[in-house]
């Protein structure tokens, strides 16, 4: 923890970083199939993947998706 | 707003006793299927901004629900097109969700990060003989030293981690360790701890901190069991 930050600010930043690490990288992954029908579009977004699209993910996401 | 934002998975019943506001001020509710349910709120079908306010709100919803019952936290910005899609998901993965919920019932996650400063070996120049052999030999000398230095540091780190484990492990039901995640971090760890042992865990961590004054500790929690939802991954990937 940097000594120059007041205790409140440092704690706040740490809490946010810890939260981000968990909600973006951990927890249940729901990323199943994408079903596209003519009438509806079922889309599944996983926030992290949109941010850090791997090649594999980008390829999967590209298959006929409409967003 | 037909699409559904998912915060987590819980067992069902019981129904939702509280009124919680989710992203966009939309009401959080349960979508049950059999004996599991998704914690959801209606949402437009587009990702929410990745910023402090939204991430914090997501986490707050998960923690509020956790106050009442076991929950498997879901990643931020997980959206499904329709409620039917959510029901189908629950039906498909009911078994793994149920097992995971049993595993985390009555428990919380405690997070630990340990910073360290491995002691650098003093630089010792190669001796005359090596220097006489030329730049190639000198280069290899420094490479070998570097490699040995890294091994030494790693061995020291592993010894430290081992010494740290014993006092903390006994108070945790499960743990998830990540040694040497970065150069400055000796260890990142998550522990699954019974709710009523959290205070004891904190005290024990404080004692460990005293025993290792040259290390910097960051203990956080209680968290929802983010690191302990194993088995719930989508097998199709």
- Complete DSSP assignment for A18-55: HHHHHHHHSSB-------B-SS-B---B-HHHHHS--H
Structure tokens at B2: 């037909």
**Contact criterion met (CB below 8 Å) for B185 and B179:** no
Q: Test A48 with B75 for CB contact under 8 angstroms.
A: yes
For residue B81, the chain A residues in CB contact (below 8 A) are: 40-44
Interface test with B, best of A1, A9, A28 (most B CBs within 10 A): A28
With H, G, I as helix, E, B as strand and everything else as coil, classify residue B10: strand
Q: What is the pLDDT of residues B192-222, one digit of tens each?
A: 999 999 999 999 999 999 999 889 999 999 9
Cross-chain Cβ contact B78/A33 below 8 Å: no
Q: Is the pLDDT of residue B87 over 60?
A: yes
Reported as a single tens digit per residue, the pLDDT across B60-79 is: 999 999 988 999 999 988 99
Is 80 exceeded by the pLDDT of residue B120?
no
* Six token digits for residue B1: 């707003």
A55 and chain B in contact, CB less than 8 A: no
Element at A41 (helix H, strand E): none
Q: pTM, whole model, 2 decimals? A: 0.79
Share of chain A above pLDDT 70, in %: 34
Q: Would you place residue B231 in the very low, low, confident or very high pLDDT band (cuts 50, 70, 90)?
A: low
Beta carbons of B73 and A48 less than 8 Å apart: no
Give the number of residues written for chain A: 67
The verdict on a CB contact (< 8 Å) between A27 and B229 is yes
- Whether complex ipTM tops 0.95: no
């Amino acid at each position: 923890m940097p000594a120059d930050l007041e205790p409140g600010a440092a704690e706040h930043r740490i809490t946010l970083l810890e939260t981000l690490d968990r909600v973006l990288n951990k927890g249940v992954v729901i990323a199943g199939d994408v079903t596209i029908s003519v009438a509806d579009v079922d889309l599944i977004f996983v926030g992290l993947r949109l941010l850090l699209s791997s090649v594999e993910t980008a390829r999967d996401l590209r298959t006929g998706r409409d967003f | 707003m037909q699409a559904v934002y998912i915060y987590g998975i819980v067992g069902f019943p019981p129904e939702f006793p509280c009124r919680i506001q989710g992203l966009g001020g939309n009401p959080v509710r349960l979508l049950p299927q059999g004996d599991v349910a998704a914690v959801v709120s209606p949402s437009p079908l587009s990702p929410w901004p990745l910023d402090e306010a939204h991430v914090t709100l997501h986490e707050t919803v998960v923690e509020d629900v956790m106050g009442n019952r076991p929950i498997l936290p879901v990643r931020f910005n997980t959206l499904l097109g329709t409620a039917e899609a959510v029901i189908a998901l629950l039906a498909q993965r009911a078994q793994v969700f149920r097992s995971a919920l049993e595993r985390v019932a009555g428990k919380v996650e405690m997070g630990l990060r340990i910073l360290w400063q491995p002691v650098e070996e003093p630089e010792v120049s190669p001796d005359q003989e090596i220097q006489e052999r030329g730049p190639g030999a000198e280069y290899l000398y420094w490479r070998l030293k570097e490699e040995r230095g890294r091994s030494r540091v790693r061995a020291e780190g592993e010894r430290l981690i081992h010494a740290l484990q014993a006092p903390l492990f006994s108070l945790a039901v499960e743990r998830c360790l990540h040694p040497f995640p970065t150069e400055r971090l000796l260890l990142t760890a998550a522990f699954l701890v019974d709710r009523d042992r959290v205070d004891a865990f904190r005290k024990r961590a404080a004692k460990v901190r005293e025993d290792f004054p040259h290390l910097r500790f960051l203990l956080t929690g209680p968290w929802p069991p983010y690191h302990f939802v194993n088995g719930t991954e989508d097998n199709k990937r």
